[in-house]
Amino acid sequence: MQDLIKIAVDAMGGDGSPKKIIDGLLYNHKNNKENFFKIFGKKNEIEKYLNNKIDKIFYDIVDTSDIVKSTDSPLEAAKRGKNTSMWLAIESVKKKETDIVISAGNTGALLVIAKLNLKMIEDIDKPALSALWPNKKGMSVVLDLGANIECSSKNLHDFSIMGASLYKSLYPNEVPKVALLNIGSEELKGNEIIKETFQIMNEKKSNNFNFEGYIEGNELMNGEVNVIVSDGFTGNVALKTAEGTANFITDELKNALTGSILGKISAFLNIQNLRKFKKRLDPRLYNGAIFIGLDSPVVKSHGGTDYIGFSNSLDVCNRIIKGNLIDKIKDNI
């Protein structure tokens, strides 16, 4: 167990928990024997779904008496106490019993409880919520996605460093290329904070990433940059817009290919290409938002994803620890 990556798992968060969480854990373990799971939640339910399908050297269960509800406000979740599965999972990272924590539970509660338990990395003022997005050439890291509605130029510069460090941790053989999300590509476009950040990043050349200037919303998926930085308000709007557009395209294509005999014949003849298209837009492949800026990494799985999506977010946990994310941020700061 000494060489295994130790993941603290909040088994009681998200839709269909704990069954979905345990199914995802078991699915992940089939393909990866590098992880040890410290599972927090109702022990009798967890054991029922584990059902001896995984060797006990790969997991431990911590029985918890309470859970954070999806309807709890962040303040209510914090007040609910230190006996919830979410709080104890985060606390295990704080105590260095585990390397990283993951939860599919209440996002606001997770951010608040994480901030209450974990320290900020020195010289970082605000943590950011980041995620992976597909682009034409591979994947991009995008942040902030809603943790901070208002940001200073220093915050955005910090996000650039953290996002580049995250990208390098996940893709060690590639060069992070950073851009600021803006309403235009010209240097004079945008509000004062964006323009200040542009000047700072132009002057503070980094050996750890290339600064590519501004990027507009219609260029997010072209793959010319792979780290996209914004404040949390703008980033969250961009995220929801991208998700809605992807769902719209998928639904309309499905309707077009199943609404007539000709459409069904076309679908049959293009079945392989359609499968590739569906897989490319499958949100489960990109599941796992990362709360970075704290001295231990916290991963948020989408509450509505299935066990395959949760398994993919466990892969993200593995890669973050193997890529030494926290050390990279500290070094780059």
The pLDDT value recorded for residue 76 is 85
246/262 Cα distance (integer angstroms): 24
Model pLDDT, residue 280: 64
Helices (H), 32-106: 43-50, 74-79, 85-94
Sign of CA pseudo-dihedral 27, 30, 31, 35: positive
With residue 161 as reference, give the H or E element that holds it: helix 153-170
pLDDT number for residue 48 = 93
Q: What percent of the chain has pLDDT over 90?
A: 54
Distance between CA 209 and CA 169 in Å, rounded?
13
- Say if CB 106 and CB 121 are below 8 A apart: no
Q: Give the range among 7-11, 60-64, 242-246, 308-312 with minimum mean pLDDT.
A: 242-246
Mean pLDDT of 259-281: 68
The yes-or-no verdict on residue 78 having pLDDT over 90 is no
Q: What confidence tier does 4 reach under pLDDT thresholds 50, 70, 90?
A: very high
Name the CATH superfamily, with its identifier, for domain 1-124+293-333. Isopropylmalate Dehydrogenase (3.40.718.10)
Q: Residue ranges of the domains in the chain? A: 1-124+293-333, 126-286
- What is the arithmetic mean of pLDDT over 75-79? 83
Residue 93 in this model has a pLDDT that exceeds 80: yes
CA distance 196 to 204: 12
Stretch (H or E) spanning 164: helix 153-170
Q: How far apart are CA 13 and CA 328, in angstroms?
A: 30
Q: What is the pLDDT of residue 157?
A: 95
Return the pLDDT at 277: 60
For the segment 204-211, the average pLDDT, to the nearest whole number, is 85
Using pLDDT thresholds of 50, 70 and 90, give the confidence band for residue 28.
very high
- The pLDDT tens digits for 128-173 are 999 888 888 888 999 999 888 899 999 999 999 999 999 999 999 9
For 33-53, what is the mean pLDDT?
Answer: 93
Per-residue confidence at 333, pLDDT binned at 50, 70, 90?
Answer: confident
Q: pLDDT tens-digit profile of 213-237?
A: 999 988 988 999 999 999 999 988 8
Mean pLDDT of 246-272: 73
Compute the distance between CA of residue 193 and CA of residue 231 in angstroms, rounded to an integer: 10
- Joined together, the tokens standing for residue 239 give 């995220």
**Percent of all residues in the chain with a pLDDT value above 70, rounded to a whole number:** 93
CA dist., res. 27 & res. 116, Å (int): 32
Please report the pLDDT score of residue 332 as a whole number. Answer: 81
Average pLDDT over residues 199-221: 89
Average pLDDT of every residue of the chain: 88
Query: Residues 239-255: what's their mean pLDDT?
Result: 78
Decide if pLDDT at 253 tops 90. no
Same fold, 1-124+293-333 and 126-286: yes
If pLDDT is split at 50, 70 and 90, which confidence band does 2 have? low
Give the DSSP letter of residue 66: B
Grouping H, G, I as helix, E, B as strand and the rest as coil, residue 46 is helix
Host H or E run for residue 49: helix 43-50
138-158 in b/e burial notation, b at 16+ Cβ within 10 A? ebbbbbbbbbbeebebbbbbb
CATH assignment, 126-286:
3.40.718.10
Predicted confidence (pLDDT) per residue in 272-289, tens digit = 766 676 666 666 777 778
